[in-house]
């Protein structure tokens, strides 16, 4: 296999002379991109308004609404295609900046159109898919920046913590705002999506330093030669990520998410129809959960320098399973919701603390020279698992368990523990080291 780490053999690799020697500008662009693409997606700002629209105004059941959400989120399962393009095909003369700018502007357009056709199921679904395609490119490019900086500065754990902090902040702010907007015209939700996308646009425009793509492409080539050059570049990227070192990490990421989950449309139905929570109340519960989950980033940024990644992964699998158990004690709606607030805070905190070593593993196992592609491939596997888990959970709840939420929670917790087998099989070179103490 060709050496993919040198600029001579891999045109996608940026020469060191063009790199900003400072970490903070790249980290800022990465975090802003992750925040924006999390805040505006259908699992963030759009979660409660769209569930309310589908299940209350359009009269769909939880299984049918889950199908809409799964199809709308389908582009996240194909991040690998975005990674191929981001790593191998320059856009507007750049390798990262052009994709971030395109992503922000296209997502703004898709959200605006979604606000105009809220009652048309098929058109709304098509626009939701288009919006997700746009933000997949933004998320993929941000992931590429994360891997490049994490490997270059030796801070994969701390940058993964920053990534999850930005992700939780986006989800934590999006859910209560979405709960407030649920039941109103979808155009108001579309309007709320514009500001973070504009922040992503301007952060990339002013802070991101990278070489012009022309610096890595020979001049004087014909159009056919340019296409061959692009094709060879993409092929080298594919060769670079098809390594055994990525198979077990990918299997672990897939398994954790593919376990049938209660964290889906069935739990929304359970909360609103069985326990009588309003959309606004669910928004505030989301803020409580993701607000406390922000602490997980600081904890793991300290923890990853104290123990090996393997130890963190064993702990992570256990914590994923443990994070489900507080939801066994959910009760009907009461003013101020003290028990529900505590459950959401503890459950979400444990869940995201458990996810951090998994994301750290994804950064470490991504090959150099194919940062966006390798990381997006692993996250695509994660999202395919999520799509399966969020579909099979409601299906079991609706058709097999006779809407027994506690049994579904136990299934999720117990099956998740089998992930320790995959952690045991991970290669020593990947997971038996701690992170650097100093940058």
The answer to whether residue 438 sits within a structural domain is no
The answer to whether residue 7 sits within a structural domain is no
The answer to whether residue 9 sits within a structural domain is no
Task: State the Cα–Cα distance between residues 211 and 206, nearest whole angstrom.
Answer: 14
How many angstroms separate the Cα of 123 from the Cα of each of 72, 115, 119, 120? 11, 11, 9, 6
Neighbours of 8 (CB within 10 A): 7
Of 7, 371, 374, 357, which Cα lies nearest the Cα of 157?
357
Task: State the Cα–Cα distance between residues 221 and 144, nearest whole angstrom.
Answer: 28
Which region holds residue 308: left if phi is over 0, alpha if psi is between -120 and 50, else beta? beta
**Overall domain count for the chain:** 1
The answer to whether residue 180 sits within a structural domain is yes
- Report phi then psi at 383, rounded to 5: -75, -35
CATH code for position 148: 1.20.1250.20
The answer to whether residue 4 sits within a structural domain is no
Say how many CA atoms lie within 13 Å of 46 toward its Cβ: 32
The answer to whether residue 275 sits within a structural domain is yes
Do the Cβ atoms of 119 and 113 come closer than 8 Å? Answer: no
The burial of 87, by beta-carbon neighbours within 10 Å (0-12 exposed, 13-18 middle, 19 or more buried), is given as: buried
Residues spanned by the domain of 381: 16-431
Sign of CA dihedral 115, 118, 123, 129: positive
* Element (DSSP H or E) covering residue 200: helix 186-207
The answer to whether residue 437 sits within a structural domain is no
Task: State the Cα–Cα distance between residues 255 and 386, nearest whole angstrom.
Answer: 9
pTM value surpassing 0.85: no
The answer to whether residue 193 sits within a structural domain is yes
Token pair listed for 433: 């080291």
Per-residue pLDDT of the chain (439 residues; tens, 9 = 90+): 333 333 334 444 434 444 567 888 889 999 999 999 999 988 889 888 988 888 887 877 777 787 888 889 888 778 778 888 887 777 877 778 899 999 999 999 999 999 888 778 889 999 999 999 999 999 999 988 898 888 888 788 888 899 989 988 998 888 889 888 987 888 899 999 999 999 999 999 999 887 665 444 444 454 455 555 556 555 555 655 556 678 899 999 999 999 999 988 899 889 998 999 998 898 889 888 888 988 998 999 899 889 999 999 999 999 999 999 999 999 999 888 999 999 999 999 999 999 999 999 988 888 776 777 788 788 888 888 988 998 899 999 988 999 999 999 999 999 999 999 999 999 888 888 877 655 5
Residue located via tokens 């003369």: 93
Question: Cα Rg for the chain, rounded, in angstroms?
Answer: 21
């Amino acid at each position: 296999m060709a050496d993919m780490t040198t600029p001579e053999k891999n045109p996608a690799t940026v020469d060191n002379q063009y790199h900003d020697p400072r970490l903070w500008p790249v980290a800022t662009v990465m975090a802003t991109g992750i925040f924006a693409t999390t805040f505006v997606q259908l699992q963030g700002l759009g979660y409660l308004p769209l569930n309310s629209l589908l299940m209350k105004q359009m009269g769909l059941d939880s299984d049918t609404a889950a199908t809409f959400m799964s199809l709308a989120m389908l582009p996240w399962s194909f991040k690998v295609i975005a990674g191929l393009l981001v790593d191998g095909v320059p856009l507007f003369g750049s390798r990262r900046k052009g994709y971030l700018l395109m992503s922000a502007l296209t997502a703004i357009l898709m959200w605006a159109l979604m606000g105009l056709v809220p009652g048309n199921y098929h058109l709304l679904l098509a626009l939701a898919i288009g919006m997700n395609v746009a933000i997949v490119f933004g998320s993929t490019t941000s992931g590429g920046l994360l891997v490049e900086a994490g490997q270059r500065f030796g801070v994969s754990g701390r940058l993964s913590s920053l990534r999850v902090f930005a992700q939780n902040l986006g989800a934590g702010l999006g859910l209560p705002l979405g709960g407030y907007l649920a039941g109103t015209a979808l155009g108001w939700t579309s309007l709320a999506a514009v500001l973070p996308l504009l922040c992503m646009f301007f952060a990339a425009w002013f802070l991101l330093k990278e070489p012009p793509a022309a610096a890595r492409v020979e001049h004087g080539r014909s159009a056919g030669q340019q296409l061959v050059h692009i094709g060879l570049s993409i092929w080298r990227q594919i060769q670079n990520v098809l390594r055994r070192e990525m198979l077990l990490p990918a299997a672990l990421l897939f398994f954790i998410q593919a376990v049938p989950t209660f964290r889906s449309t069935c739990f929304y139905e359970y909360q609103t129809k069985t326990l009588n929570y309003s959309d606004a109340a669910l928004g505030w519960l989301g803020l409580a959960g993701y607000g406390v989950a922000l602490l997980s980033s600081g904890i793991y940024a300290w923890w990853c320098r104290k123990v090996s990644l393997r130890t963190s992964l064993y702990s992570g699998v256990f914590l994923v399973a443990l994070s489900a158990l507080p939801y066994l004690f959910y009760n009907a709606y009461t003013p101020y919701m003290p028990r529900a607030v505590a459950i959401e805070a503890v459950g979400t905190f444990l869940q995201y603390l458990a996810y951090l070593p998994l994301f750290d593993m994804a950064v470490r196992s991504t090959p150099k020279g194919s940062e966006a592609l390798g990381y997006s491939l692993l996250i695509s596997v994660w999202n395919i698992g999520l799509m399966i888990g969020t579909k099979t959970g409601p299906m079991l709840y609706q058709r097999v368990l006779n809407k027994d939420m506690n049994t579904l929670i136990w299934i999720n917790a117990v099956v998740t523990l089998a992930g320790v087998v995959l952690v045991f099989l991970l290669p020593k070179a990947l997971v038996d080291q701690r992170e650097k103490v100093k940058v």
